[in-house]
Structure 1
Amino acid sequence: MERLSALWEELVARTDYERCQRPRAARFSLESMAGLCGRLGFEPSSRVEGCFEAPAKVIHLAGSKGKGSTAHFMERGLRAAGFRVGLYTSPHLETWRERIQVNGEWVSETALISAISKVLNESDGEETFFDLLTAAAFVSFREADCDFWILETGLGGRFDSTNVLATEAAVVTSIELEHTDVLGDTLEAIAAEKAGILKSTAQCWSALEPQHPAVPVLSEKSESLGQKLIHLSSAEPFALPEGFPYEGAIMRKNFQLAQAVLSGLGVPVHAMQPLPPEEWVLPGRFEVRQLDDGREVVLDVAHSAESLAATLQAFRKAWPDVNRAVLFALRDDKIPSRLAAELGELAPRPEGEDWFVLPAGDHPRSASPESLAAPFSATPLCTMEFPKTPTVFLVTGSTYLVGALRPQTTLAPQPV
């Protein structure tokens, strides 16, 4: 473990745009990542200029929200159909090892040491942290002989480190005004960045509503590649597995998207139906846990206005007549007053619901609790602790806050 920890520290010593204090647009290029893939022995693609071929089928996802959940649902569906699957997601909740999985398990310590060592040996020093970690995932999946690789973008799409492989499916789950300092300040500009993952080799999918202003951007990009954009809204709906644990429309839509994409690739999605309900429970996605004193805690990584509103509504519906509290954090690239106004319209706050604002874990780009207190009429907390009086909590707004508080909780007893 000491060797793996030392390698991780060597990775994070590189430029880390997830935690960087300076403007994250300071350096975005695929040149270093492409050079690294070449030195690691990945073959240049004859199908997509400037890309490489993976020894597997690759599914690539981008989006303002929903891409992580959809990726996890796809991974479970492929395993149920008998395939060996590599899954690469970001950010993590509690440990970075969550990000690189093979067949639903963290890649072993030995395999990770081997993969990261190979990557660092081939590094020319110009790559970022995310370049190196992404390359380590590629090497891990190659060494594990995975049939499918599922890759979630870290930010945007066009210049994301994951965007160097020819793919079989490219999926845009949603587009909202987020990371505007890097991706642009209009939905159309953000769509152009995320459309960068669309490839001439790939089925191009959109889960946006047809009237969304970003759809023409995605459609035009698909057509320029000789592909027709496939809309989830026009795909044949699939049945949800019995006991599917999510009642909210967003998670159900993400599951439908996962099934539709897999079906389009010829995967027998009927294999997903017999899986037990607990197989579909995802960490940090309306995940119900509890404190040592028995009080319930709902953990949800929602961070956009629409997903936060849906999470708040589901929380209030599930616990209507108890002393509820919302523990909330944001990164400093959000505009608190605008988000608070949007939530006021989408999910008006009922009387008697207490809000507390905290730092986003130890993230250096966390918005200060003091800056969030007034817009959200919340009590600022400077320590990562649960208040004493509320009966049930919702922890949301930031993946980093969810990750920081989750270790204080345990699995809630499941109803018999």
Structure 2
Amino acid sequence: MSRSVLRSRTRLGVLRRIAAVAVVVTVALLAYSFVGTAIGDDGRQATGERDRPLVAAIDGTGPGQIVAFGASGEVVHRNRSLWLYHDVDPSPRGSQTVTYVASGPAASRHCARDTCIENVVRRVNLTTGEGTVLHTWKGSLNGSAQFHDVDRIDESTLLVADISFPDRVFAVNTTTDEVVWEWRVSEAYEPSSGGNYPGDWTHVNDVEYLPDGRVMVSLRNQDQVVFIEPGEGLQEDWTLGADGDHGVLYEAHNPDYIPAERGGPAVLVADSENNRIVEYARRNGSWVRTWTWSDGRLQWPRDADRLPNGNTLVVDSHGERIVSVAPSGEVAWSKPFPDGGYDAELLGTGDESAGGPSATRAGLESRSRQITNPRVLAVSLVPPLVLHGALFALPAWTSAFDATVLLAAGALVTVWLVVEVAVRTRRRYRKR
């Protein structure tokens, strides 16, 4: 037997053993994460925020549900009867009442296709559990067909971000079911922009009715927050971000508008794929970034609310927690939240950022991502879209580090299989 053949077999044997060890370690790590998952205490007592109910909506990062926590961190309300839960807002009907949008299955007779979905806007009293359905929409399941956000204009009018094609924002009278206003993204954007047209083209995930009557919209796949003047259309000079300009925004979620009377105009937004929270202020006709926050753990944040005391409530979807960030940039409190989360509200602080000041007025200190933990360093080496896509597909109890190890093990096993096939093929060729 030649030396080259011996070396080839030795290297293949080493590669086999390394691949086997990687598989064993990965399985052990996943088993540990599965057994160890739990929702922990939140420590809100140090900030004066403990006595307020904390409500969170969970979508595909975990078992879809809306869950509310009381002063001691105990669950006081939970509903998981539907598939996915997205936006949740405090209701003017009472201090313990919220309105949320969720989606679930509907009878196929309502749709042209077999798979039918129903989007539901529901008001619920967290104390009694009593709820009222405010409006529903039924339609065929089409990619990300779920409504991600609904904003209240008045008692009978809702503003809706319709994520399914033709990708639009509309206002509906819930009494008459009449659409009283509509803006379609195709009025201002070409099909070549954003994502897959028409499947998941814009992924319009947030809408906000502003005090001056304009409408702010988040176009996730276009990396933009845009402003619409009803009856006039897109205000292009107000657009924050640009398609593919990931230095400004990268597939962001849930922007909040802060008006001039509270230190704006400014937009606070969860810059999801950049793993950071950012705020942009309107100055001399353009947007200037005035605040940035991230830490070594933040992974795919999808909501950020500025509270009246200057703290910022953050939903860290793949960091598996909900945190309150103090003006100094330190974490005021953190609640482990292994199911991920999409949107959260701390009741009694206003709808989203309605009671909070701008970063400039509150004197907030920016904090950049500092990586000192080897586990976090390993996670940071994975491209965000790959990591976050894997985490969205994996069970809710898997962490970012679990996903990183799983991807690395998968890559290693793939290399081994390719080499194994190549070596066996070469051996058969030589025997001929």
TM-score normalised according to structure 1 size: 0.28
TM-score normalised according to structure 2 size: 0.27
Which of the pair is proportionally richer in strand? Answer: 2
Q: Computing the radius of gyration over CA atoms, which structure comes out larger, 1 or 2? A: 2
Q: Which one has more relative contact order, counting CA pairs under 8 Å at least 6 apart?
A: 1
